[in-house]
Copies of this chain bind each other. A is one copy, B any other.
Amino acid sequence: MSVAASTPEAWATLSLKALPHQALVALLRAFGNPSAILDASRAQLGAVVPEAIAARVQEPVEPESLAATRAWLADPTHEIVAWDDTDYPHALLDLGYAPPVLFFVGRRELLNRPALAIVGSRNATAQGADNARAFAHALSQAGLTIVSGLAVGVDAAAHDGALGGRGSTLAVGGTGLDRVYPARNRELAHRIAEHGGLISEFPPGTPPREKNFPRRNRLISGLARGVLVVEAALSSGSLITARYAGEQGREVFAIPGSIHSPLSKGCHRLIRDGAKLVETAQDILEELGMGTPGAGVAKHAASPATGIEGTLLAALGGDSATVDTLVSRTGVTSDIVLAALTELELAGQIAAIPGGLWQRLHRG
């Protein structure tokens, strides 16, 4: 038995061979541990798995891949959490496709806490991002670990909101953990590494690859008791995550919105297909049987505005509108409307969104 193969590295090496799940289970059952599998003869392997798989076990892995993993593991905060690790997420073990190895940085104890996934559009509206942040914070405070995918938009807002709460957050990457994708989230990833946890099933050095993101999504829903979709277009990775959640027996929650917002259409489709419509974090806690939370749950109250600004806020209502629409709704001239919109934007009460639309912000 080689010394090199007696460590997490043996798991990593085995993982790089990307064996079919059932074959790997059979091999571990027969040989006891990854090092023994790697040291086994072709005949020994062939007695357990088909010849083609036995051959694949004995093929050397690409030296660069192994080198990238070795280099990454040189940092003592970088870990491999494998199937035989007691910290391996129990939630994944029953799903039939738990990755044999998770590359991990952060607080191991978060891997087996009750978790909720929060996902949604990369192009979230300002209100969508605020909602993600507020729900994540309240649910984290109530003890749920918030799982998301470290993308921009809803994902980033959810991680950010959860970091301050009791349950903290787990970010599941679709690349090697030496590649923070997207780069814009580098600072957030560092905070998560320190106060939460970063997870990837892909070995260090794995670049962003389109085909890996659905697998990442399946891990996100698999880790959680349920998935909350905050904002999603009809053609959206979030709907794929929600579908996985359904297949995995997880709850699916969705936040409704204006029928005129393309980013609500995905949520509305989910609700029509049986997802639970939620208005508050409390709705989710009740559905998960987690009773009344602490004080952490967001109640939203807009600060009362008066005069033309109050009129504009009332005219906006819960929806988005163009300047022209606001002019026609309020009967005020466009220059006055524009000036007041600017005031309201500076006051953080409204935001511009794509399409020349203005939207009210409700802060938790």
Contact = CB atoms under 8 A, between A and B. Distances in A.
Interface of A: 125-128, 131, 209-214, 233-236, 239-240, 243, 255-261, 263-266, 268-269, 271-273, 276-280, 300-302, 310-311, 314-319, 321, 328-332, 360, 362
A256 B272 contact: no
B314 A240 contact: yes
B311 A214 contact: yes
A280 B301 contact: no
A210 B328 contact: yes
B317 A127 contact: yes
A165 to B, nearest CB: 20
A302 B236 CA distance: 15
A222 to B, nearest CB: 17
A65 B252 CA distance: 58
Contact of A318 (B258, B277, B314, B317): B258
Contacts of A301: 272-273
Nearest to A361: B260
Identical subunits present: 2
A315 B233 CA distance: 11
Contacts of A310: 243
A126 to B, nearest CB: 5
Contacts of A329: 126, 210, 235
A128 B212 contact: no
A259 B331 contact: no
Given A272-B301, A331-B210, A362-B260, A314 B277 contact: no
Contacts of A273: 300-301
Contacts of A212: 331
Nearest to A306: B247
Contacts of A243: 310, 314
Nearest to A264: B318
A220 to B, nearest CB: 15
A255 B271 CA distance: 12
Contacts of A235: 314-319, 321, 329
Nearest to A319: B127
Contacts of A128: 317
Nearest to A274: B301
